[in-house]
Amino acid sequence: EIVMTQSPSTLSVSPGESATLSCRASQSVNSKLVWDSNLAWYQQKPGQAPRLLIYGASTRATGIPTRFSGSGSGTEFTLTISSLQSEDFAVYYCHQYNNWPYTFGQGTKLEIK
Amino acid sequence: QQQLQESGPGLVKSSETLSLTCTVSGGSISSSSYNWGWIRQPPGKGQECIGSIYYTGSTYYNPSLKSRLTISVDTSNNQFSLELSSVTAADTAVYYCARQRVLGSGSFYIDSWGQGILVTVSS
């Protein structure tokens, strides 16, 4: 089973600033068939279901603002949120869907500084 | 827009079977583009993939739960279901059903979630 490790566990940032969240996989999550990484990012607010932000490591899901960007390959991935808005403060999870069972990171809580 | 809704008892006794159903609305569960999955999140913890099913009945089960798990699909009612037997307190969690986009490689990612249902296992 691939272990996903996110850092930091909590990140305090002021509105308007940028936030960088990291995710590391215990082995590569690159697709064997296409030039792609099977890595997604989700946002979750209290009492709500997670929302898909990024898939394929860097492709924004439908309706996701351009201030959200994903990067990385292999075992190291980053989610960057620029110009933080009040609605962006939430918990963020990375998720690998390359090897079954698919697994999630433990989450990074993004809080207002 | 397609929506998913979980239903079932919120309280299950230890050693009994947890049964949940997910109803899909706004689109057919028989789409070749999607798997349909169950994910759970214990209180204060991260998510765990329980298992997934394609409309043909092909399944993926998490090996850690496989011996206790059954996932089935009812295409006539646009529903899929989860049964987890011999539950313990460790199975207490919010259970989500989800739609999973299938890629050409065979991998699939969650692109839509139900609201989730809290299931508590009591002794």
pLDDT digit string (tens) for B92-104? Answer: 999 999 999 999 8
A59-110: per-residue pLDDT in tens?
Answer: 999 999 999 999 999 999 999 999 999 999 999 999 999 999 999 999 999 9
Q: Do A61 and B111 touch (CB under 8 A)?
A: yes
Distance in Å, alpha carbon of B95 to nearest chain A alpha carbon: 10
| Per-residue pLDDT, B123 | 87
What is the C-alpha separation between B68 and A40, in angstroms, rounded? 28
Residue of A nearest to B43 (CA): A47
What integer is the mean pLDDT of B84-98? 97
Distance in Å, alpha carbon of B39 to nearest chain A alpha carbon: 10
Q: Is residue A40's pLDDT more than 90?
A: yes
In this complex, the residue of A38, A97, A104 whose CB is nearest that of residue B47 is A104
What integer is the mean pLDDT of B37-42? 96
| Per-residue pLDDT, B1 | 83
Residues of A in contact with B104 (CB under 8 A): 33-34
Q: Is residue A35's pLDDT more than 80?
A: no
What is the C-alpha separation between A108 and A91, in angstroms, rounded? 5
| Per-residue pLDDT, B5 | 97
User: If interface means Cβ-Cβ distance under 8 Å, which residues of chain A face chain B?
Assistant: 31-34, 38, 40, 42, 48-52, 55, 61, 93, 95, 97-98, 100-107
In this complex, the residue of B46, B63, B107 whose CB is nearest that of residue A38 is B107
| Per-residue pLDDT, B3 | 93
Q: Is residue A31's pLDDT more than 90?
A: no
Q: Quote the percentage of chain B above a pLDDT of 90.
A: 93
Q: Give chain B's mean pLDDT.
A: 96
Give the H/E segment covering residue B95: strand B93-102
**pLDDT band with cut points at 50, 70 and 90 for residue B10:** very high
Give the rounded distance of the alpha carbon of A82 from its chain centre. 14
Residue of B nearest to A98 (CA): B107
B67-80: per-residue pLDDT in tens?
Answer: 999 999 999 999 99
Helices (H) and strands (E) in chain A, counts: 0, 11
What is the C-alpha separation between A52 and A79, in angstroms, rounded? 13
**pLDDT band with cut points at 50, 70 and 90 for residue B44:** confident
| Per-residue pLDDT, A36 | 84
What is the C-alpha separation between A18 and A85, in angstroms, rounded? 10
Residues of A in contact with B45 (CB under 8 A): 106
| Per-residue pLDDT, B49 | 98
Q: Which of B27, B18, B11, B40 is nearest to B98 (CA)?
A: B40
Q: Is residue A33's pLDDT more than 80?
A: no
